Amino acid sequence: MERRSWAEPYKIKMVEPIRITTRAEREAAITEAGFNTFLLKSEDVYIDLLTDSGTSAMSDAQWGALMMGDESYAGSRSFYHLVDAVRDVYGYEELIPTHQGRGAEHILSQILIKPGDVIPGNMYFTTTRFHQEYAGGTFADVIIEEAHLPASTHPFKGNVDLEKLRALIDGPDRIPYLSLETNVNMAGGQPVSMQNLRETYELCRTHGILVMLDATRAVENAYFIQQREAGYETTSIAEILREICSYSDGATVSSKKDNLVNIGGFLALRDPDLARKARALLVAFEGLHTYGGMSGRDMEALATGIREMVATDDHVRARVGQVEYLGNRILKMGVPIVQPIGGHGVFIDAAMTLMHLDQELFPAQALAAAIYRDSGVRGMERGIVSAGRDPADGSNRRPQLELVRLTLPRRVYTQAHMDVVAESVGAVWEDRDSVRGLRFTYEPDELRFFQARFEEV
Ligand SMILES: *Cc1c(COP(=O)(O)O)cnc(C)c1O
């Protein structure tokens, strides 16, 4: 049968009730939370699109695997299952398990970066850049210009600009490695093409620069390559993923995304010497080298999730299909969103929506709060608050993208839930002139978006 739909390749076996609140309850909750959706209690949220991180629904096979976890302190059987899964699916020999993605970023940054180094990357990611700077390095953005333009429909907005990269290589600074993110989160879940991966790897190799993937969303990237890049139409997601990883020397992965578990992550490497250095730090910061930051059952469920995410192409087709369904509904109402619709969420252009607010009045923060107030749908800010301050002069970094992210957990919500979300975005859009700007009442020094508090101006 010719496939006509992205409909889910699973059915629901267990349900979790969610609470529908009144408008008065939501008014009180968002004020109490200082207009920061991160500070809301999940009990006060109806449809939670804060993040796709650690919010996936596990399969019956994964729940079964939890019971098979080996909790031995050293040499756990579950660790070896995880090593095998990473070798088979990603193709990396050396596995360093961590409590989540940032644990892997910390260790990678510490073993490779010396003070004064420059680390190019295809757009920053919050925790990744933090760990690069914490190790004494400086991040340099080498993503193509289209990535900064919400309305550009370039099919591979995650691509590295090879000219920008060459200019950096010719510059005075030492470059230990290039940090290459698949399906770039901050650009709106936008993919890198296989051709760009190949060319970037070649260029780096000629100059003795390592390529380290942030492969957190590499499966979603593989799906877009299959859909959009000539020559990959009939290649399986599993094969495309292996090829993506072949153009790198290692990867950090937050297993809370593609890998379909609620906690976990890893650093994967090819070079055994580098892996030895990483393990020496692992025991100090995370845990023994055969569990890192995870329990045996976490590793068992993760090994199962890694195999499941590529076992059929239907899994990722349904995952991205649901995101595209929501995005297309919102787009039809005339609301400006990042295009093409990304792999893990819909990104509303808050700057274009709230044109009456200057960026220093935090339009995306205000819009996320307004959507919550309307319907109990929780999204999050990805704009000037997330970008933080410039360490050099303390001013707000003013990113070109000022977005509200509606991120879809994997295998959690239904199509009817997506209709509720689209209707709420539409209602706030109609009433957008009434949304007021915000100012800080509390601003943390690092990763401020997590805990900052605001009041309406
Ligand atoms: C989530 C994420 C991370 C950080 O991973 P955690 O598991 O949250 O520590 C790093 N990079 C990207 C692209 C991510 O999406």
Kindly report, residue by residue over 155-189, the tens digit of the pLDDT.
999 999 999 999 999 999 999 999 999 999 988 99
Active site residue 257: yes
- The residue nearest atom 2 of ligand 1, judged by CA position, is 254
The active-site residue out of 256, 257, 329, 448 is: 257
Same domain, 48 and 155: no
pLDDT exceeds 90 at position 325: yes
pLDDT exceeds 70 at position 312: yes
Same domain, 444 and 405: yes
> What's residue 446's pLDDT?
85
Same domain, 201 and 342: no
Q: How far is the CA of 2 from the centre of ligand 1 (A)?
A: 37
Q: Confidence class of residue 36 from pLDDT cuts 50, 70 and 90? A: very high
Q: How far lies 70's CA from each of 63, 73, 279, 422, in Å? A: 14, 9, 21, 44
Residue 136 CA to residue 115 CA, distance in Å, equals 4
The active-site residue out of 126, 128, 200, 216 is: 126
pLDDT exceeds 90 at position 209: yes
Same domain, 290 and 147: yes
Structural domain of 380? 23-52+313-456
Same domain, 38 and 86: no
Q: How far is the CA of 127 from the centre of ligand 1 (A)?
A: 7
Q: How far is the CA of 214 from the centre of ligand 1 (A)?
A: 8
CATH of the domain at 192: 3.40.640.10
| Residue after which a domain boundary falls, among 308, 336, 355 | 308
Tell me, using a 6 A CB cutoff, whether residue 101 lines ligand 1. yes
Number of domain units in the chain: 2
What pLDDT digit, counting tens, does each position of 98-127 carry? 999 999 999 999 999 999 999 999 999 989
| Residue after which a domain boundary falls, among 308, 342, 358 | 308
Same domain, 256 and 327: no
> What's residue 353's pLDDT?
98
In the chain, % of residues over pLDDT 90: 96
In the chain, % of residues over pLDDT 70: 100
Provide the Cα torsion 382, 386, 390, 393; round to 10°. Answer: 110
- Which atom of ligand 1 approaches the CA of 103 most closely? 9
What would the 3-class secondary structure string for the chain be?
CCCCCCCCCCCCCCCCCCCCCCHHHHHHHHHHCCCCHHHCCHHHCCEECCCCCCCCCCCHHHHHHHHCCCCCCCCCHHHHHHHHHHHHHCCCCEEEEECCHHHHHHHHHHHHCCCCCEEEECCCCHHHHHHHHHCCCEEEECECHHHHCCCCCCCCCCCECHHHHHHHHHCCCCCCEEEEECCECCCCCECCCHHHHHHHHHHHHHCCCEEEEECCCHHHHHHHHHHHCCCCCCCCHHHHHHHHHHCCCEEEEECCCCCCCCCCEEEEECCHHHHHHHHHHHHHHCCCCCCCCCCHHHHHHHHHHHHHHHHCHHHHHHHHHHHHHHHHHHHHCCCCECCCCCCCEEEEEHHHHCCCCCHHHCHHHHHHHHHHHHHCEECEEECHHHHCECCCCCCECCCCCCEEEEECCCCCCCHHHHHHHHHHHHHHHHCHHHCCCEEEEECCCCCHHHCCEEEEC
In a domain, 292, yes or no: yes
Q: Are 161 and 142 in contact (CB under 8 A)?
A: yes
pLDDT exceeds 80 at position 2: no
Tell me, using a 6 A CB cutoff, whether residue 254 lines ligand 1. yes
Same domain, 296 and 328: no
> What's residue 151's pLDDT?
86
In a domain, 14, yes or no: no
Same domain, 45 and 68: no
pLDDT exceeds 70 at position 1: no
CATH of the domain at 376: 3.90.1150.10
Tell me, using a 6 A CB cutoff, whether residue 259 lines ligand 1. no
Whose tokens are 């079964």? That residue is: 64
Same domain, 116 and 233: yes
Give the largest CA-CA distance in the chain. Answer: 61
Q: How far is the CA of 5 from the centre of ligand 1 (A)?
A: 30
| Residue after which a domain boundary falls, among 254, 286, 308 | 308
- Which atom of ligand 1 approaches the CA of 184 most closely? 13
Q: Indicate the top mutation candidate among 102, 131, 344 to test ligand 1's pocket, ranked by most ligand atoms within 8 A of CB.
A: 102
- The residue nearest atom 6 of ligand 1, judged by CA position, is 101
Active site residue 449: yes
Same domain, 72 and 221: yes
In a domain, 387, yes or no: yes
Tell me, using a 6 A CB cutoff, whether residue 132 lines ligand 1. no
In a domain, 235, yes or no: yes
Tell me, using a 6 A CB cutoff, whether residue 36 lines ligand 1. no
Same domain, 196 and 321: no
CA nearest to 212, candidates 243, 169, 255, 181: 181
Mean of the per-residue pLDDT values for the chain? 97
In a domain, 13, yes or no: no
Question: How many CA atoms lie within 13 Å of 43's alpha carbon, on the beta-carbon side?
Answer: 1
What pLDDT digit, counting tens, does each position of 411-457 carry? 999 999 999 999 999 999 999 999 999 999 999 988 899 999 999 99
Same domain, 294 and 399: no
What pLDDT digit, counting tens, does each position of 64-104 carry? 999 999 999 999 999 999 999 999 999 999 999 999 999 99
In a domain, 196, yes or no: yes
Count Cβ neighbours within 10 Å for each residue of 409-434 and write b for 16 or more, e otherwise: bbbbbeeebbebbbebbbebbeebee
- The residue nearest atom 4 of ligand 1, judged by CA position, is 101
Count Cβ neighbours within 10 Å for each residue of 13-45 and write b for 16 or more, e otherwise: eeeeeeeebeeeebeebbeebbbbbbbbeeebb
- The residue nearest atom 10 of ligand 1, judged by CA position, is 101
Q: Confidence class of residue 391 from pLDDT cuts 50, 70 and 90? A: confident
Q: Are 156 and 193 in contact (CB under 8 A)?
A: yes
